[in-house]
Amino acid sequence: MNTPAVSVVMSVFNGERFLPEAVESILRQSFDDLEFIIIDDGSSDESGSILDYYQRSDPRVRVYHQENRGLIESLNRGCGLARGTYIARMDADDIAVRDRLMWQVRFMDTNPEVAVLGGAVEFIDQSGRVLNVARRPLHDRELQRVLLDSSIVWHPSVLIRKSALIRVGGYRNVAHAEDFDLWLRIAEHFQLANLPEVLLKYRIHPGQISVASCKKQALGAAAARAAALARKSGNEDPLDSVAEITPAVLARLGVSEAIQQTTLARGCLASVRNMYLAGEYALALDILEILRSSELKHAEIWTIADLRLCAAKLYWRKKRYARSTLTAVHAVITWPIMLGRPLKPLLSRFSAMVQST
């Protein structure tokens, strides 16, 4: 078999609804020197049968069925099987634009110092309706500046040099933040970049969000950031000896309770905003109401204010106008500025009125 230039790696778990569209978007790429490695991670729906059909229909498709092992182990298996110079990530609910790989390979071939290349993404809802276009900084200098604060490339949009992935040891067990951890480690040795073009239609749907996943992602992101700071200070990577990331482990790594809670609030807020864009108001509001009952008393005050403003918009969408107004006023008062102070007496009276109705 000829060695392909690009190995596209995708893990699937019960993804039958959007799977054909995702697979076909890769098989119809204008750049066709590729293999498509798909790990069926113990699906119990029709995903396995759908994948077997494509494997019979196109020799570039290589499907591997396994018991459920989770995303990280599946991605490492897929990347280990990859024969290409480059590894492209893809998710089972997204759509790659037709020229995605052509644009990315052309850039990487002429920029050997870059190891990870992403691009802009177009948010779509369950029916494919365009919601928004999201972009990240383009050049390594800009990306390195904000690297510790946010994920600087969209995971399912990236093209990675396989040699760089091997050098840093692949994905690690940093649940729901495995990509952030990977970019941090690769950025210590190579450059990163994004293309200005939209490479991917990133689908937003209810199956993506839960309080549990937000919490795991928050813990993982905080751990990845702490590990990066430790390496930067010349210390050993603390995650090399950690089996599971917990609040207690983060505390030992020097991640304060305030930082943990702020990271949780920011992560859930980002996901809820995506649900808002997709029109999933009830689900987004449920998530926020559950989150507000969690312990966030040490979280950054600006983030709490943003949570309340987001909740106010959702209450308004659900025609709960009194609750929306009250929540918005609470958000204003949360801000540590003079504007909120005169409103406190009004808030008390308004709150009493709402409770009496």
Q: Which residue has the higher pLDDT, 119 or 211?
A: 119
Mean pLDDT over 13-24 rounds to: 96
pLDDT tier at 340, thresholds 50, 70, 90: very low
The model's pLDDT over 37-81, given as tens digits with 9 standing for 90+, comes to 999 999 999 999 999 999 999 999 999 999 999 999 999 999 999
Residues 6 or more apart whose CB falls under 8 angstroms from that of 110 comprise: none
| CATH code for the structural domain at 6-203 | 3.90.550.10
Which range has the worst mean pLDDT, 35-39, 226-230, 277-281? 277-281
Report how far Cα 227 is from the mean position of its chain's Cα atoms: 19
Of 37, 44, 29, the closest CA to residue 10 belongs to 37
Mean pLDDT over 112-130 rounds to: 94
Q: 74, 11 in Cβ contact below 8 A?
A: yes
Mean pLDDT over 301-320 rounds to: 86
pLDDT tier at 341, thresholds 50, 70, 90: very low
What is the share, in percent, of the chain residues with pLDDT greater than 70? Answer: 90
For residue 62, give the amino acid letter: R
Q: 78, 104 in Cβ contact below 8 A?
A: no
Assess whether pLDDT exceeds 50 at residue 174: yes
> Which residue ranges make up each domain of the chain?
6-203, 208-356
Which range has the worst mean pLDDT, 218-232, 244-258, 286-300? 286-300
Backbone φ and ψ for 250, nearest 5 degrees, come out as -60, -40
Q: Which residue has the higher pLDDT, 247 or 48?
A: 48
